């Protein structure tokens, strides 16, 4: 391999570390990884498929760490996980014939509302509160809606899961992050299967970035578990603002 090739791989590894770290805490790692993959010369569809491969590795490790810390009780959430998987497959299948243009214009507004609400509620997710909906209907409803959305379009899915878990389920930010990572992993794996079946994954680049993702996800999830809302809230707010700005700019172009 040439020196230039080694430098590209080292850069992609570093991006994977940074994205895995941020994603494990508050989501939004795709803001870093998708542009990096496109800059590496991958076609858009292959870049998206490769992104799902590398991000799934980091999300899996983060989910494992949150579950070990007791922040993802799988038995309570298994119906929601199953619904999320099926809905994400349906969303990935739908995107081949439906135009997501209108939805893409609405997403920045929804994320903007999430950012404003988070900013004006400094105690948001600081402690657990009574749930407004039982886990089973919550998992089925939001698994269907957000799972489909993640397979169909995707940006901001983790932010929407976080807010739903805090506002509807009454979880604190640590607990909400644990559930969010598990749901993100589920929809990522469903979409990844679709990309693999269509031959839209570059395994060499994906595995290089996956190694970086594992490092970042380990460090990020450990920091979030120890720091709780004090760590998660500012990172979450920064990610949501960045996604709102990026998607809003793209919608106006």
Instruction: Give per-10-residue mean pLDDT for the chain (253 aa).
Output: 70 94 90 89 88 94 95 94 94 75 76 87 88 96 94 84 95 95 94 89 94 96 93 91 86 74
pLDDT value at position 4? 58
Please tell me the predicted confidence (pLDDT) of residue 13.
95
3-state secondary structure of 29: coil
Give the start-to-end residue ranges of the domains of the chain.
3-252
The pLDDT value recorded for residue 205 is 94
**How many angstroms from the chain centroid is the CA of residue 16?**
14
**Alpha-carbon span 195 to 33, nearest angstrom:** 17
Q: Are 87 and 147 in contact (CB under 8 A)?
A: yes
**pLDDT at position 96, please?**
67
Quick one: how far is CA 80 from the chain centroid? 16
Distance CA 232, CA 116 (A): 16
pLDDT in tens, 8-19: 889 999 999 999
- How far apart CA 177 and CA 165 sit, in angstroms, is 9
238 in Cβ contact with 44 (< 8 Å): no
Cβ atoms of residues 72 and 181 within 8 Å: yes
Q: What is the pLDDT of residue 2?
A: 55
How far, in Å, CA of 240 to CA of 111, rounded? 6
Rounded to the nearest 5 percent, the helix, strand and coil shares of the chain are: 80, 0, 20
CA terminus-to-terminus distance, the chain: 39
Total-model pTM: 0.90
- Helix (H) or strand (E) segment spanning residue 24: helix 3-26
What confidence score (pLDDT) does residue 117 get? Answer: 86
What are the residues whose beta carbons fall under 8 Å from the beta carbon of 88, sequence distance 6 or more? 147, 148, 150, 151, 186, 187, 188, 190, 191
Give CA–CA dist 132/165, Å, rounded.
10
Q: What is the pLDDT of residue 16?
A: 94
């Amino acid at each position: 391999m040439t020196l230039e090739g080694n430098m590209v791989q080292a850069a992609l590894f570093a991006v994977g570390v940074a994205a895995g770290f941020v994603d494990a805490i508050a989501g939004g790692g795709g803001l870093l990884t998708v542009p990096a993959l496109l800059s590496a010369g991958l076609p858009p569809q292959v870049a998206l498929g490769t992104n799902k491969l590398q991000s799934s590795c980091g999300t899996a490790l983060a989910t494992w760490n949150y579950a070990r810390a007791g922040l993802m009780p799988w038995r309570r959430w298994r119906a929601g996980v199953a619904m999320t998987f099926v809905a994400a497959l349906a969303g990935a299948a739908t995107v081949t014939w439906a135009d997501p243009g209108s939805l893409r214009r609405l997403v920045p507004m929804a994320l903007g509302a999430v950012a404003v609400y988070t900013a004006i509620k400094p105690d948001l997710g600081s402690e657990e509160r009574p749930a407004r909906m039982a886990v089973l209907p919550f998992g089925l409803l939001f698994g269907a809606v957000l799972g489909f959305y993640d397979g169909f379009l995707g940006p901001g899915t983790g932010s929407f899961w976080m807010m739903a878990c805090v506002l509807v389920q009454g979880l604190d930010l640590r607990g909400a992050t644990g559930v969010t990572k598990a749901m993100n992993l589920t929809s990522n794996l469903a979409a990844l299967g679709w990309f693999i079946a269509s031959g839209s994954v570059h395994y060499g680049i994906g595995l290089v970035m996956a190694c970086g993702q594992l490092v970042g996800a380990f460090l990020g999830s450990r920091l979030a578990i120890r720091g709780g809302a004090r760590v998660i809230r500012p990172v979450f707010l920064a990610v949501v603002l960045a996604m709102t700005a990026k998607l809003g700019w793209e919608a106006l172009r």
